[in-house]
Structure 1
């Protein structure tokens, strides 16, 4: 089985109704004490008069920040429903077959500033929090989770090919074994010159995740097999890792 690491979306789609989340039902239960600490710290920070500044957001997101103060009472839904935006639209969970959805639920782990790491089918409320934020009780969240995630994720990644589609701030929270990890980069090439474009990178990473979850045949178990799978849909190259540096899959979008 391949392990696909995704970042959360900045925007979330709130569940219109339903029961609140239960910590005991989330994947990686060994993170629950740390999750509760962040939940409490976020609620306190979000009720502060300077909450918007503390969380690094503008006035248009005041309602989402206020919702952070009552997350344990908010309706919850599966993570693949709550997370939305470019990457998740491209992944297209809703249009998958039942078999493909089961594969996604088993293969995808989302690295989160609030939860640390969660499974794709875990029930969560919509929230507003970035990994780059520093809460008074926890400090910078990337550093906070870096202390806790290895105990939960090292075993999950054991023997798996890790396809890392995270952005840099979320990648800082946990480093999977380099020899079995492939970071996904996306470039646009025009007149022989490559540039990085974040919008297309998110979209293409979502498309790659969907391709891996919906294609026929065995899931890639090695970086070379991942390259071949990616080349079924894109021009791609593999840059081998060195020592503690993971492999890199470069997908090049050409005009």
Structure 2
């Protein structure tokens, strides 16, 4: 089973221990991954303050952030699932999950990065900052995910796939294979930004369910047979819709 998850703008700054190995992550040797990283670093070292602010999504240049990002190849690292610190990751609260639940997430979760493309939850990544709507030369969210489509299709082929991504990432890499998508409603209206919290809570409950049952949910023959059993605080399952290549679970947020 693979679970596709969004990143967050907020990130932890890893501790000061120097990495011993070269930076490695999912498909890191693919030319498009190397090109993306080289393009990003060249832009940060260009001295173009306006461009760097655009990349960071800020109005003023943050020198500490620039120093960290410019030196990301030699910077300290954290597992991706611990590096990101936004709303969804706070709700997930990975570090306080049982060990079996953590292992389930490390085995199953693939996170969309604005710079590195898809990464595994356990891939060790440095601090970086790259606003999702920015294009630098040939580097953009759309171009990066389009370039890795073949590799991702091959990776996901034959596996159950749960899509918990924000819409911008779902559009950057649309799924053609069978999968399950989760939608959150509030007063009958689909949530966008506010759904981050509930994606994190849903993923946490899924991990706890896997831990409690004593088995990895990947062993389930039909994904739809297991996910609707999840009881997530603050959510009520409204509908299970089946389409040609996907199943949509719709939840209503309850007060």
* Short-chain TM bin: 0.7 to 0.9
What is the distance in 2 between the residues matched to 1:148 and 1:212?
Answer: 27
**SS of alignment partner, residue 121 of structure 1:** coil
Q: Offset of 1:253 from its aligned partner?
A: 0.6
What is the distance in 1 between the residues matched to 2:115 and 2:162?
Answer: 22
CA contact 2:202–2:232 (8 Å) conserved in 1: no
TM-score under structure 2 normalisation? Answer: 0.84
| C-alpha RMSD of matched pairs (Å) | 2.4
CA contact 1:112–1:118 (8 Å) conserved in 2: yes
Alignment partner, residue 168 of structure 2: 169
Aligned residues: 244
Match of 1:213 among 207, 216, 226: 207
Q: Structure 1 residues 249, 221: closer, same or farther in 2, change over 3 A?
A: farther
Q: Offset of 1:11 from its aligned partner?
A: 1.1
For structure 2, which runs of at least 5 residues remain unmatched after alignment?
none
Q: Offset of 1:232 from its aligned partner?
A: 6.2
Q: Offset of 1:139 from its aligned partner?
A: 3.9
CA contact 1:113–1:131 (8 Å) conserved in 2: yes
What is the distance in 2 between the residues matched to 1:123 and 1:250?
Answer: 33
Match of 1:196 among 191, 194, 198: 191
For structure 1, which runs of at least 5 residues remain unmatched after alignment?
none
Q: Structure 1 residues 149, 195: closer, same or farther in 2, change over 3 A?
A: closer
Alignment partner, residue 37 of structure 2: 39
Q: Structure 1 residues 197, 39: closer, same or farther in 2, change over 3 A?
A: closer
What is the distance in 2 between the residues matched to 1:69 and 1:20?
Answer: 16
2:16 is aligned with 1:14: no
**SS of alignment partner, residue 17 of structure 1:** coil
**SS of alignment partner, residue 2 of structure 2:** strand
Residue by residue, what CA displacement relative to the aligned partner does 1:55-114 show, whole Å, maximum 9, x if unpaired?
261235624244322211211111122111110111111011222111111000111121
What is the distance in 2 between the residues matched to 1:44 and 1:26?
Answer: 20
Q: Offset of 1:170 from its aligned partner?
A: 1.6
Alignment of 1:147-166 (within 5 A): 147-151=147-151, 153-166=152-165
Alignment partner, residue 224 of structure 1: 224
CA contact 2:241–2:248 (8 Å) conserved in 1: yes
**SS of alignment partner, residue 127 of structure 2:** coil
Q: Structure 1 residues 44, 232: closer, same or farther in 2, change over 3 A?
A: closer
What is the distance in 1 between the residues matched to 2:40 and 2:98?
Answer: 37
- Segments of 4+ in structure 1 off by > 4 A? 21-24
TM-score under structure 1 normalisation? Answer: 0.84
CA contact 1:187–1:253 (8 Å) conserved in 2: yes
Alignment partner, residue 241 of structure 1: 243
Q: Offset of 1:124 from its aligned partner?
A: 0.5
Alignment partner, residue 187 of structure 1: 185
CA contact 1:80–1:93 (8 Å) conserved in 2: yes
Q: Offset of 1:164 from its aligned partner?
A: 0.9
